[in-house]
Each structure stands twice: as C-alpha cells, then as structure tokens.
Amino acid sequence: MIQPKIFYELLLNHGTDFFAGVPDSLLKNFCAYVTDNAPEEKHIISANEGSATALAAGYYFATNKIPLVYMQNSGEGNMINPLLSLIDPDVYSVPLLILIGWRGEPGVHDEPQHVKQGKVTCELLDAMKVPYDILSDNESDLPKQFEKAYSYIKNNKAPYAFVIRKGTFSDYVLQKNNVVSAEMKREDAIEKIMLSADERTAFVSTTGMASRELYELREKHGMGHDRDFLTVGSMGHASQIALAIAMQKNDRRIYCIDGDGATIMQMGGLATIGTRKPHNLVHFVLNNGAHDSVGGQPTVGLSIDLPTIAKACGYEKVYSISTVLELDRVLSEINGCNLLTFVEIKVCKGARKDLGRPKSTPQENKKALMEFLKK
C-alpha cells in the first residue's frame, strides 16, 4: 500500500503543489492528507469535478506549475467538458495530473451505480486521448510511474491520469474533522420526515448514505420501498428528478432528501425549481457541512446561507433548523401548506457502523416507484 504522505511528497517533489477535486471513498486517505497538510490557498474542495478542472487551469495560468485534480470515476462525466474544451492540447494545452478513484473496477464487487462507470473508466480516457497508468500499490514502483507521467505532461503540455484501485492508499485519519454542533444525526432527521409524510407522498433521496438510511428505515418500520426513488448515482441531480415528478403528479407531495455536497454540486437546479414553483415539492437539505458518505471532508455548506439562496431563487417558504423540536414544528406546518418549500436541517456527521445497502436492484426500485406513482 502507498502511504498518502509519501505520495503527497512525491507530488511536491515534481512541482505539483495545488490540489482541487471532489472527495472519493477510494481516495479518502489521500484526500484527508491533503485537507490536513496543503496550505488553504493550495487546496480547493470544489463544487464538482468540472469546476476542479477549471480551477487547475487557472492555477497553471497564474503559476506555470502542474496542478492536480482528484475525483471518483463518477466525476469523469463532470470533467469531460472542461477537459476537452479547455485543457486539451487542441485548445489551451494545460499540463495536468488527474487522480481517478476506480469504483466498479471489473472483477471487483461494487454497488450497481458503479458497475457501468467502472467498465468504461479507462475507455473514456482512451476516447479523450488522455494517457493513464494504473497506480501501483507498491511504493517502490512510484518513482518510475511518476517519471513517465511527468515527462508526458511536460513534453506535451497535456493531461495524464493515474487510475487508483481500491485499497491502494494506506489509512490516514482526517485531523481537520470539523464537528457540527447539531442535535440530530442525518438518519434521525430522515426518520422523522419519513414518518410525518402521508402515504401518497413520494420521496427522492440523494447519493450516498442518505438513500441507504432511508432504505433501512423503511425496513425498520415495515413500510415497503415503493414510494422511494433512491438516487444512488447521479450526485446532485435528485432535486431535478423530484421537480419533474412533482410537476407531472401535482396531486401528491414529493419530498426530496438532499445533501449539502450534492446541492452545491449542481446548485443551478435550485434556480430551475424556484422559477417553476411546484406547490407540492418540499426540498430538505441535510446539512452536515461535509461529504460525509466518502470520508467527511468539508463542504462549504455551513459557510453559505442555503435557505437565503433558495429564497432568492424563488422558493416560497424556507426554513433553517437544527433541533428536534424545530423539526417537529416545521413538519407539522408543512403538512398544511401548499407552497414550494426548502428546509435546511443542520445535522451532525457520521452514520451507523452497521448501515446496510439496498437489497433491491435499481430497476426493481424504478418499477415499484412507477407503479406507486400511477395509483
């Protein structure tokens, strides 16, 4: 295995001292090391992977140094546009090192949302003519791999990727683990929302642990899963799925359970919702100020005022709450109200150690929801 410290120092030795990206579970030890050790002006946890790519370009224009962008392979799609229309040698020709966590690597068991992305991770790089190497998990191989990567990047003023397999980095525990002082855990808040909704309400939940928790809470209460759409992939898009359902099914309520990282990743969606104003949509954002599902690295969720942004986008009712009492009050108020609503709930980081994963397949999930919506 590779110690994150060794890898980080090799990057510095090759002149790379700027890091931008979105955290990933496979890169979590490296991301945590960078969060703790890179100076603040040299590390940006970006809204999405496309933004990270553009930040890297800006850093290069200002310094002439080779930046690094890190991401889960789910983020390759978000990166493609700036990679091909900004970074590419046919356009501005920006030297760049990319780290890609390889979820769903063929032959390695993973969740359904990673399977297709895992199969095409390297093919996408091939199609974009970005050369890559699968990073060895043996530290003694690194100097050679770095040599090859950096000589390509420098000679061609072009991007090069390291694809990172599961288990490549050894453990590193995030020290800057900001504590959110809130009464509830994400799962407590989801349980209250779930139990407060009438039986015709459909739920659309976001990527990561929120969907896993909703699934398990339905099991715990013997409620079945047909009214939930679990957005297991497609980070940041749950609210748009919810919007379109709400507009077509305006005789029932739609509850979107979102995360702060996901909301910020595709924040433009708030403007679309706010201008459409579906009266039957309630958008809950469980704000723990972190990418909790992939290691707890910070988001800017607690440094910005999400309810004010939602209000400015056109949401009619907005709340920001952090206690059980407030949540109870808001949930009962919402029940009698027919206005587009945004509820920020500040929750603490962390999840149960024994949190499971959905047992039904995405297609079973979709079929059940579509039947439910017909009723």
Ligand X SMILES: Cc1ncc(C[n+]2csc(CCOP(=O)(O)OP(=O)(O)O)c2C)c(N)n1
* Residues at the contact surface with ligand X, assessed by CB under 6 A: 22-24, 72, 74-75, 78, 186, 206-210, 235, 259-262, 288, 290-294, 299
CB proximity list for 326: less than 8 A, separation 6 or greater:
319
| C-alpha separations of 46 from 60, 155, 189 in Å | 16, 28, 27
Ramachandran angles phi, psi of 159, nearest 5°: -80, 155
- Answer whether 21's CB lies under 8 Å from 70's CB: yes
CB of 243 to ligand X, least distance (A): 17
108: nearest Cα among 26, 9, 1, 224: 26
Ramachandran angles phi, psi of 144, nearest 5°: -65, -45
Residue number with CB closer to ligand X (16 or 51):
51
- Answer whether 210's CB lies under 8 Å from 190's CB: yes
CB of 366 to ligand X, least distance (A): 18
Residue number with CB closer to ligand X (47 or 153):
47
CB of 200 to ligand X, least distance (A): 26
- Answer whether 259's CB lies under 8 Å from 231's CB: no
Per-residue burial over 83-122, b if 16 or more Cβ lie within 10 Å, else e, is: beebbbeeeeebbbbbbbbbbbbeeeeeeebbeebbeebb
CB of 81 to ligand X, least distance (A): 13
CB of 209 to ligand X, least distance (A): 5
CB of 226 to ligand X, least distance (A): 24
Helix 268-276 with 238-248: angle, nearest 10 deg: 10
Residue number with CB closer to ligand X (256 or 290):
290
CB proximity list for 135: less than 8 A, separation 6 or greater:
2, 142, 145, 162, 163, 164, 165, 168
d(CA 56, CA 19): 8
d(CA 286, CA 258): 6
Residue number with CB closer to ligand X (158 or 294):
294
Ramachandran angles phi, psi of 91, nearest 5°: -115, -105
Residue number with CB closer to ligand X (80 or 223):
80
CB of 207 to ligand X, least distance (A): 5
Residue number with CB closer to ligand X (243 or 294):
294
Residue number with CB closer to ligand X (37 or 288):
288
- Answer whether 236's CB lies under 8 Å from 77's CB: no
CB of 100 to ligand X, least distance (A): 11
CB of 28 to ligand X, least distance (A): 10
Closest residue to bound ligand X by CB: 259
Residue number with CB closer to ligand X (186 or 227):
186
CB of 171 to ligand X, least distance (A): 19
d(CA 186, CA 201): 20
Residue number with CB closer to ligand X (195 or 355):
355
Residue number with CB closer to ligand X (4 or 75):
75
C-alpha neighbours within 13 Å on the C-beta side of residue 199:
3
